[in-house]
């Protein structure tokens, strides 16, 4: 396209060029080259995207225990067989919910390698990425994608020394990583990036212009030697070559600006796709916005360390994060990377925390991220009961023992898509959320089950909506409408869910957009859901109920066995209900029912116990 445009200009101009006087020729040449340089200099602009680094250090899986601030609320009551960090799946399940709730576009996985001669250090081994994928599949999440963050020097020098000492000595500076020695590149590619990519399915990869994104951290003479004379450039070229040869794609590589300080050859065309400039806790800089080759990349930290462990950047009750996102997302960055979704070790985490020293309420950081995402007021937002900012609970202690400390009673849920739910409720108890994004026309839907007749109401900023009766419905999980709220404009509000009568279990509510002009039929489209039954399947006929696909063409339904093989598929037009005769297709086993439509992918587990 670019070539054609240049050719067109060249032909048009050359026709009359010969006939011009000298001065006019000069002016035309200036204009000609100005136009050509515009085409060359302007990069492909993509929409502002927001992501965060994401690590799975075992201390983070345990909630950030040995650091006094910014600990996760979800650190309690995991089943006995699920308590060791490496076996834990519930932590990942909760992280998927938190990331989805924040509305960001991607997380950049801090992969630090899997060394053949040393045990798993629990600081970011790529073999655990599959737990994240499984949790995304189980929850049916497709709202965010996965990039890779190469955390050099941990992933280079640290990995090499851990491997060479057979797992007895971990050092990021002794001996240093020789960047000129190609034998060392196995730590960068074979044992780390190659394995991380392999663990991320193609459709879950975060891409810019169709290319998966890998972001690199810092290079310094205290961690690496022999960085100059094109050696860092050689490393990048090696990664590209290997990635193309192994996976058939050219990765989108974002380098730290300090790579250019030590190897000027990183400036060569085709080495870096974009450049970030990190932040400086020591310099008191909480964000940077760096323009390189026409592309602006932002980096933000919401705070850093604490006064007794300097350098310290004060989170200032969330205002440091707001300032950082204003200076990046709102100041022309086409991609902004936030440090660090799980970074409790440096007090920079975004996860829900009851830290009342530096923040105002548990969901605050997630809410701020959503306000700077591409969709601050999504059509549908799922709000889990157990994640509330405040609650009133009339019994001492958490009788369910799951999810978080305190008096709110929480158990692992048997409802579709897993998660947790609030149980043991009684009249007068409530759960409350601060600064929830409500639309001009909001409808609440409630997910509950109850063994007796019960009722609740939802209130907004202290004003109660009508009470809602919760029918007993054989103690089955049920979704019902739980009230509507209208206002002149979208805005942030306090929402409280109060138990009026009975003892219902509450899983979650969704707050959905109501568009009056579309009418009631189209309102269904805003919440997509898939129900498969009976499950476990005991007969030959499987029923699939679909909601929210009424206007979708080409909805693909697949049943996939545990080997990943598709055993059934169909493509449907605007489906609402499907009956599948499975007698010739399914046998006693576990399957996955996968529904795909445009950007939506929903996966349900199906257990078959018929003979």
Question: What residues numbered 11-50 form the site for Ca ion, per CB under 5 A?
Answer: none
Least Å distance between CB 240 and Ca ion?
43
Least Å distance between CB 508 and Ca ion?
5
Least Å distance between CB 479 and Ca ion?
13
Least Å distance between CB 444 and Ca ion?
15
Least Å distance between CB 431 and Ca ion?
11
For position 525 contacting Ca ion by CB under 5 A, the verdict is no
Least Å distance between CB 603 and Ca ion?
19
> How many whole angstroms separate alpha carbon 580 and alpha carbon 606?
13
How many residues form the binding site for Ca ion (CB under 5 A)? 9
Nearest CA among 388, 382, 427 for reference residue 408:
388
> How many whole angstroms separate alpha carbon 472 and alpha carbon 451?
5
Crossing angle for the helix pair 90-102 and 364-371, to the nearest 10 degrees: 40
Q: Which residues are 205's β-sheet partners? A: 146
Q: Which of 508, 526, 549, 568 binds Ca ion (CB under 5 A)?
A: 508
> How many whole angstroms separate alpha carbon 375 and alpha carbon 199?
28
- Site stretch for Ca ion (CB under 5 A), options 192-200, 409-417, 459-467, 493-501: 409-417
Question: What residues numbered 169-208 form the site for Ca ion, per CB under 5 A?
Answer: none
The H-or-E segment that residue 14 falls in is: helix 2-17
Q: What residue is closest to Ca ion based on CB?
A: 395
Whichever of 355 and 393 has its CB closer to Ca ion, that residue is 393
Least Å distance between CB 246 and Ca ion?
40
Q: Which of 105, 409, 435, 505 binds Ca ion (CB under 5 A)?
A: 409
Distances (CA, A) of 168 to 124, 181, 187, 300: 17, 23, 17, 35
Whichever of 327 and 419 has its CB closer to Ca ion, that residue is 419
Q: Which of 395, 475, 538, 551 binds Ca ion (CB under 5 A)?
A: 395
Whichever of 419 and 504 has its CB closer to Ca ion, that residue is 419
Least Å distance between CB 417 and Ca ion?
9
Least Å distance between CB 408 and Ca ion?
6
Mapped onto helix, strand or coil, the DSSP state of residue 96 is: helix
Whichever of 336 and 510 has its CB closer to Ca ion, that residue is 510
Whichever of 339 and 409 has its CB closer to Ca ion, that residue is 409
At a CB cut-off of 8 Å and minimum separation 6, what does 590 contact? 562, 605, 606, 607, 608
For the CA atoms of 49, 350, 437, 360, the dihedral, rounded to the nearest 10 degrees, stands at: -140
- Site stretch for Ca ion (CB under 5 A), options 80-88, 167-175, 413-421, 519-527: 413-421
- Site stretch for Ca ion (CB under 5 A), options 242-250, 313-321, 403-411, 523-531: 403-411
> How many whole angstroms separate alpha carbon 217 and alpha carbon 259?
9
Whichever of 45 and 473 has its CB closer to Ca ion, that residue is 473
Q: Which of 507, 512, 525, 582 binds Ca ion (CB under 5 A)?
A: 507
For position 407 contacting Ca ion by CB under 5 A, the verdict is yes
- Site stretch for Ca ion (CB under 5 A), options 215-223, 322-330, 405-413, 541-549: 405-413
Whichever of 150 and 386 has its CB closer to Ca ion, that residue is 386
Whichever of 392 and 567 has its CB closer to Ca ion, that residue is 392
Least Å distance between CB 492 and Ca ion?
22
Nearest CA among 525, 521, 503 for reference residue 513:
525
Which tokens sit at 512? 């959905």
> How many whole angstroms separate alpha carbon 347 and alpha carbon 573?
49
- Site stretch for Ca ion (CB under 5 A), options 285-293, 503-511, 566-574, 600-608: 503-511
Q: Which residues are 335's β-sheet partners? A: 49, 297
> How many whole angstroms separate alpha carbon 107 and alpha carbon 130?
15
For position 393 contacting Ca ion by CB under 5 A, the verdict is yes
Place of tokens 């670019």: 2
Whichever of 93 and 384 has its CB closer to Ca ion, that residue is 384
> How many whole angstroms separate alpha carbon 276 and alpha carbon 299?
7
Nearest CA among 244, 264, 253, 260 for reference residue 295:
253
Distances (CA, A) of 444 to 217, 259, 381, 467, 506: 43, 50, 10, 12, 14
Least Å distance between CB 476 and Ca ion?
16
Which tokens sit at 372? 């700077």
Least Å distance between CB 473 and Ca ion?
18
At a CB cut-off of 8 Å and minimum separation 6, what does 602 contact? 140, 142, 528, 529, 530, 594, 595, 596
- Site stretch for Ca ion (CB under 5 A), options 37-45, 64-72, 180-188, 404-412: 404-412
For position 414 contacting Ca ion by CB under 5 A, the verdict is no
Whichever of 251 and 419 has its CB closer to Ca ion, that residue is 419
- Site stretch for Ca ion (CB under 5 A), options 126-134, 387-395, 539-547, 598-606: 387-395
Question: What residues numbered 417-476 form the site for Ca ion, per CB under 5 A?
Answer: 419, 421
Distances (CA, A) of 169 to 125, 160, 164, 186: 17, 10, 9, 19
Using left for φ > 0, alpha for ψ between -120 and 50, and beta otherwise, residue 86 falls in alpha
Q: Which of 100, 150, 384, 429 binds Ca ion (CB under 5 A)?
A: 384
For position 77 contacting Ca ion by CB under 5 A, the verdict is no
Q: Which residues bind Ca ion (CB under 5 A)?
A: 384, 393, 395, 407, 409, 419, 421, 507-508
């Amino acid at each position: 396209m670019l070539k054609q445009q240049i050719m067109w200009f060249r032909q048009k101009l050359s026709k009359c060029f010969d006939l011009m006087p000298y001065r006019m020729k000069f002016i035309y040449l200036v204009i000609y080259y100005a136009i050509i340089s515009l085409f060359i200099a302007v990069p492909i602009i993509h929409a502002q995207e927001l992501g965060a680094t994401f690590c799975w250090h075992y201390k983070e899986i345990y909630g950030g225990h040995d650091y006094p601030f910014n600990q996760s609320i979800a650190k309690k009551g995991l089943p006995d067989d699920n308590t060791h960090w490496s076996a834990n799946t519930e932590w990942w399940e909760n992280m998927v919910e938190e990331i989805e709730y924040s509305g960001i576009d991607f997380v950049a996985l801090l992969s630090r390698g899997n060394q053949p001669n040393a045990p798993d250090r629990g600081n970011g081994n790529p073999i655990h990425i599959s737990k994240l994928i499984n949790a995304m599949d189980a929850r049916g999440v497709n709202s965010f994608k996965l990039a890779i963050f190469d955390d050099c020097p941990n992933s280079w020098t640290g990995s090499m020394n851990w491997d060479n000492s057979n797992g007895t000595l971990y050092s990021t500076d002794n001996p240093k990583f020789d960047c000129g020695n190609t034998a060392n590149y196995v730590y960068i590619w074979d044992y780390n990036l190659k394995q991380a990519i392999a663990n991320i399915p193609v459709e879950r990869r975060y891409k810019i212009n169709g290319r998966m994104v890998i972001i690199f951290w810092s290079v310094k003479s205290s961690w690496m030697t022999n960085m100059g004379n094109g050696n860092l450039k050689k490393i990048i070229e090696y990664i590209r070559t290997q990635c193309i040869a192994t996976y058939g794609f050219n990765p989108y590589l974002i380098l730290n600006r300090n790579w250019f300080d030590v190897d000027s050859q990183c400036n060569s065309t085709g080495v870096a796709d974009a450049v970030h400039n990190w932040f400086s806790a020591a310099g008191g800089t909480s964000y940077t916005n760096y323009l390189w080759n026409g592309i602006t990349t932002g980096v933000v930290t919401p705070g850093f360390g604490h006064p007794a462990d300097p350098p310290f950047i004060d989170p200032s009750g969330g205002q440091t994060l707001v300032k950082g996102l204003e200076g990046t997302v709102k100041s022309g960055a086409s991609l902004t990377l936030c440090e660090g979704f799980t970074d409790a070790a440096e007090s920079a985490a975004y996860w829900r925390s009851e830290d009342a020293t530096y923040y105002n309420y548990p969901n605050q950081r997630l809410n701020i991220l959503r306000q700077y995402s591409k969709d601050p007021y999504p059509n549908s937002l799922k709000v889990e009961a157990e994640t509330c900012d405040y609650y009133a609970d009339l019994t001492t202690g958490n009788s369910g023992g799951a999810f978080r400390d305190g008096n709110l009673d929480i158990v692992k849920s048997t409802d579709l898509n897993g998660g947790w739910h609030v149980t043991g409720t009684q009249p007068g108890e409530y759960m409350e959320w601060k600064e929830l994004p409500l639309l001009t026309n909001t409808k609440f839907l409630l997910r509950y089950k109850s063994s007796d007749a019960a009722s609740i109401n939802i209130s907004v900023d202290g004003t109660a909506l009508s009470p809602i009766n919760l029918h007993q419905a054989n103690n089955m999980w049920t979704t019902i409408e739980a009230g509507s709220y209208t206002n002149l404009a979208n805005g942030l509000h306090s929402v409280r869910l109060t138990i009026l009568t009975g003892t219902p279990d509450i899983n979650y509510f969704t707050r959905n957009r109501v568009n009056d002009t579309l009418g009631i039929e189209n309102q269904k489209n805003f919440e997509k859901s898939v129900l498969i039954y009976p499950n476990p399947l005991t007969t030959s006929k499987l029923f699939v109920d679909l909601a929210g696909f009424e206007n979708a063409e080409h909805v693909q339904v697949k049943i996939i066995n545990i080997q990943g093989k598709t055993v059934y598929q169909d493509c449907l037009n605007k489906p609402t209900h499907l009956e599948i005769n499975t007698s010739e297709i399914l046998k006693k086993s576990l399957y996955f029912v996968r529904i795909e439509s445009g950007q939506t992918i929903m996966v349900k587990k199906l257990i078959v116990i018929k003979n």
